[in-house]
Amino acid sequence: MKNPPELKELFYSKVYQQGEVPADVLEECVRFRTQIYIEEGYLPEPEQSAGPDCYDAQSAHICVHAKKSGKLAGYCRMIYDEPYPLPIVQLYPGLKDCIGAKVEISRFSLQNHWRGSLRAVDMTPIFRLARELLILSHQQNLQQWSCLIDERFQKLCQRFFKMDFHILGEPQMYLGSPSVPCIIDLSESIRNNLHNPDYSAFWETRDMQAWIAEIGVR
């Protein structure tokens, strides 16, 4: 049996820095993330929306497109902590002085077809989003992410991707799902996954190799 073509060739990524996302692209992103949140049951009514909101203007936006159709297959944003406080601090005011992270990962959305693909060797949308976020973080010398993450998705990421989560509080309802406030240590998460053979394709960029060298992993 012939091996299928590498899935990493089926997608391309685009990163829009803070303040640089075109209006029509942001509109497409809002439609996409709203559609995903409705499909997942987080937004029970079709007229509800996952934005736009005040944080879109203070975010970098990461889009993964299918090469064949050009349509979005995955999306997320990295919110910076100015001018508005991060959403995690808005929901958990007591965390304001104990969160060292300067960014929050938000609106992580995947097309239904790709939500169950958990091998980085395939470089499906979930891994392309994660790698672009890590590259962006390395370029900006960021060592941590904060997030308000669906409790089920957090457990999945902990189990399959060995991400270094530090849970900071009890779950609260956020955008229709029980969500937990977390800090993710990026260097430790890299260490936890570096020698997994399924993830070899994940590290094949200059930024990733530089980060690996900096944290002294062999």
Q: Write out the chain's pLDDT in tens, 218 residues.
A: 233 345 457 889 999 999 999 999 999 999 999 888 887 777 665 555 567 889 999 999 999 999 889 999 999 999 999 999 999 998 888 887 777 779 999 998 888 765 554 444 455 788 888 889 989 998 999 999 999 988 888 887 777 777 888 999 999 888 778 899 999 998 888 888 888 777 776 777 777 788 778 766 54
The third-level CATH classification (topology) of the domain covering 11-214 is: Aminopeptidase (3.40.630)
- Residue 1, classed as helix, strand or coil, is coil
> Residue ranges of the domains in the chain?
11-214
Q: What pLDDT is attached to residue 48? A: 53
Q: What pLDDT is attached to residue 112? A: 74
119 by Cβ neighbours in 10 Å (0-12 / 13-18 / 19+) ranks as middle
User: What distance in Å separates the CA atoms of residue 190 and residue 66, rounded to the nearest whole number?
Assistant: 26
Q: What pLDDT is attached to residue 176? A: 76
Q: What pLDDT is attached to residue 94? A: 83
- Residue 164, classed as helix, strand or coil, is coil
Contacts of 161 (CB under 8 A, 6+ apart): 118, 130, 189, 193
